[in-house]
Amino acid sequence: MTDTTARVRELNLYRQYFELVAAGTKTIEVRVKYPHLADLAAGDIVRFRVKGTEETCDVKVRRVTEYPDFESLLDGEGPANVNPSATREQQLTNIRAIYSPEKEALGALAVEIERTTP
């Protein structure tokens, strides 16, 4: 017997990125490869929440790809898929403002997402 129930993971997201996900224009979410995300897989549901609010947006994980660092991730996935409103250089600066070099050294995850709720 196979369990076909999708797992639901809840992750916080800054408002500016939440708005892009909600609009369906951000199709790649960037995360550090923390141990609690190591088993994130295609078919999972991620419920993004704007921290400190009740606002949520559900997406389906289509694919998870690991990269050694954020530069490789942006080159491999295309900056427009990560944030269509910022240049590659701006995105790299913004991502590194969120994650320290020690966290980046854990590896970077590109999580391809697709909106599931209108």
Q: Find out whether 57 and 117 touch, Cβ atoms under 8 Å.
A: yes
User: Within a domain: residue 3?
Assistant: no
**In the predicted model, is pLDDT for residue 4 greater than 90?**
no
* End-to-end Cα distance, the chain: 32
**In the predicted model, is pLDDT for residue 3 greater than 60?**
no
User: Within a domain: residue 36?
Assistant: yes
What are the tens digits of pLDDT across the range 37-81? Answer: 989 999 999 999 998 899 999 999 999 999 999 999 999 999 999
User: Within a domain: residue 38?
Assistant: yes
User: Within a domain: residue 76?
Assistant: yes
What six digits make up the tokens of 116? 């599931």
Mean pLDDT score across all residues of the chain = 93
**What's the DSSP call for residue 34?**
-
User: Within a domain: residue 1?
Assistant: no
User: Within a domain: residue 2?
Assistant: no
The pLDDT assigned to 117 comes to 64
Q: How far apart are CA 72 and CA 76, in angstroms?
A: 6
Domain count, the chain: 1
Structural domain containing residue 66? 8-115
Q: How far apart are CA 32 and CA 36, in angstroms?
A: 10
User: Within a domain: residue 44?
Assistant: yes
Neighbours of 45 (CB within 10 A): 17
CATH code (residue 76): 2.30.130.30
User: Within a domain: residue 71?
Assistant: yes
